[in-house]
Structure 1
Amino acid sequence: MEQVAGDISGQVVLITGGGTGIGAAVAERFAAEGANVVVVGRRIAPLEEVAGRLGERVHALAADASDAASARSAVSWVIERFGRLDVLVANAGGHGFSPVGETSDEEWASSLNVNLSTAFVMAREALPALLEGGGGAIVVVSSLAGLYAGPSVAGYTVGKHALIGLTRSLARDYSRRGVRVNAVCPGWVRTPMADAEMDEFAAHAAEIPDREAGYAAVTADVPLGRPAERAEIASIVRFLGSRESSYMTGAVLVADGGAHIVDLPTLAFDHAGM
């Protein structure tokens, strides 16, 4: 029987950076709806924790998404185990938290490797499997930093901007062959990485006593007035990975609580109570 549009039961989903944060939440969402999920990352312990917590539909696989041989091996494992691949979620990222003048060659290479090469290499190695199966979806997890620049995050910002270019290039070249490629750009999301940033914020700002105050401060000018929960971003990834988004490719969905619509020059009026 033909699968109902939006039904993801039985689909095979490969998620990079699947051991924590958004990646783990995406794994939970797909598995809850009957998909077979493989979470990939360089450290096996958090992957096994996710797989153990989510049940038999989730499988942990240690692999470096930025290394061609490792990524190819991961895709081969998926094909041998399930016979096909339907969705790739390129979620791995992090690093690159310094301004250009304070970024060494090694730090620059590392930030681009983690934020960009992981998506490029895994997409390249997954494409044959997606094409052989008649098509599928690639969902690239970028960031609001893929559209705007924050302070002292040069490597992260450049890598996340480049992910949008990668998304559009993949969509342009492979959509007619059945592979849709879209990106999501989250703003602040409650993840272990963001928690650590809020803890550091609280440690260095006298007026920020703790993590929650940090989140409140960084989202004070966001129209929704709060950070996202991981499950909220996972629901968008699930949509882009399913047939419900069948006429979308090359799109960039922003999920930032409305932060991108704020007119920065007028914030002073809000802060003055006007």
Structure 2
Amino acid sequence: MSEIASVAPPVAGRHAGKVALVTGGGTGIGAATAARLAAEGARVVVTGRRSEPLKAVAGQISGRAIVADMSDPAQVKATVQQLIAEFGQLDLVVANAGAPSVSAVADTSDESWRASMAANLDTAFFTLRETLPALLQSRGSAVLVSSTLGLSAGPKVAEYTTAKHAVIGLAKSAARDYSGAGVRVNTVCPGWVRTAMSEAGMAQLAALTGLPGVAEAYAKVTEQVPIGRAADPAEIASIISFLGSAEASYVTGATIAVDGGADIVDLPTLPMTGVF
């Protein structure tokens, strides 16, 4: 497995004077993104359903934590109103909240389907809808976090795959409608990332397949990834920060795969790997 590359250091002042909202900001990609934006000068508000990790992140970055379920439109509305009341502006939104789900179509219950749509699609939609007035005023930007499962399909992840595909459609639609008014909307699609959620998945994979542990499971799922490893959350955060910055002023409606090259691999040629 390849060594983790050094992540480019924060760009001093890149987001100076901005106020940013990061949903799902207590752990993983959300926490790394909050830290990156704060290091680059933004005042950052993190939201999520669990108070303790949110407060820990906010304390580390001198930010603000608001406990809220972003799949509930009333709570999203209240969160945005509170943010505007406290900071007077909103310049960058990172819609990162989400949760995994595992089932094939025929095995998916009504309740499970609704729960996955709520966690992975409704959170992005309600966040974007409620923040658009402030973003239009600031001529700001939004970055929605999808997944490589928004570009393709894995085994028995019908709900999650569908929701993450829809997140990309949501971003494209918003970019089409609002970019002319100054609001850019883009999507990032992470591949395997070393987060607590992925660690749990790797532990389950190891148990089911007889692999020795999490490290070996990560090696197995990334063995055909050109870069040859899972990402560090900070690597995803750096791309999100770029998309939300003035450096990406002509980028909107884009879907960026941040997956170590996994999406470029042609499955029918895998048996030829190492032959030529």
Same fold, judged at TM 0.5 (above): yes
Is the aligned partner of 1:26 residue 2:33? yes
Q: Of 194, 208, 212, which aligns to 2:215?
A: 212
Q: Distance in 2 between matches of 1:45 and 1:124?
A: 27
Q: Of 263, 267, 270, which aligns to 1:264?
A: 267
Q: What is the root-mean-square deviation of aligned Cα atoms in Å?
A: 1.5
* Percent identity between the two aligned chains: 57
Q: Distance in 2 between matches of 1:100 and 1:45?
A: 35
Is the aligned partner of 1:244 residue 2:247? yes
1:117 to partner: Cα distance: 0.4
After superposition, residues 167-246 of structure 1 pair within 5 angstroms as 167-206=171-210, 208-246=211-249
Which position in structure 2 is the counterpart of 1:161? 165
Q: For the Cα contact (< 8 Å) 1:72–1:125, is it kept in 2? A: yes
Q: For the Cα contact (< 8 Å) 1:5–1:242, is it kept in 2? A: no
Which position in structure 2 is the counterpart of 1:148? 152
Q: Distance in 2 between matches of 1:254 and 1:72?
A: 30
Q: Which runs of no fewer than 5 residues in structure 1 stay unpaired?
A: none
How many equivalent pairs are there? Answer: 266
Q: Of 85, 89, 95, which aligns to 1:84?
A: 89
Amino acid at match of 1:257: G
Structure 1 runs of 4+ aligned residues shifted over 4 Å read: none
Cα separation, partners in 2 of 1:72 and 1:263, compared to 1, 3 Å? same
Q: Of 106, 122, 130, which aligns to 2:111?
A: 106
Is the aligned partner of 1:96 residue 2:101? yes
Q: Distance in 2 between matches of 1:178 and 1:5?
A: 24
Q: TM-score, normalised by structure 1?
A: 0.94
Which position in structure 2 is the counterpart of 1:63? 68
Q: Distance in 1 between matches of 2:245 and 2:68?
A: 25
1:96 to partner: Cα distance: 2.4
Q: Distance in 2 between matches of 1:259 and 1:50?
A: 30
Q: Distance in 2 between matches of 1:159 and 1:60?
A: 26
Q: After superposing the two structures, state which structure 1 stretch, 58-67 or 236-245, moved more.
A: 58-67
After superposition, residues 36-75 of structure 1 pair within 5 angstroms as 36-52=43-59, 54-56=60-62, 58-75=63-80
Q: Of 128, 132, 140, which aligns to 2:133?
A: 128
Which position in structure 1 is the counterpart of 2:143? 139
- Write the deviation string for residues 181-206 of structure 1: whole angstroms up to 9, x where unpaired: 00001110101111000000111112
Q: TM-score, normalised by structure 2?
A: 0.93
Which position in structure 1 is the counterpart of 2:16? 9
Q: For the Cα contact (< 8 Å) 1:168–1:250, is it kept in 2? A: yes
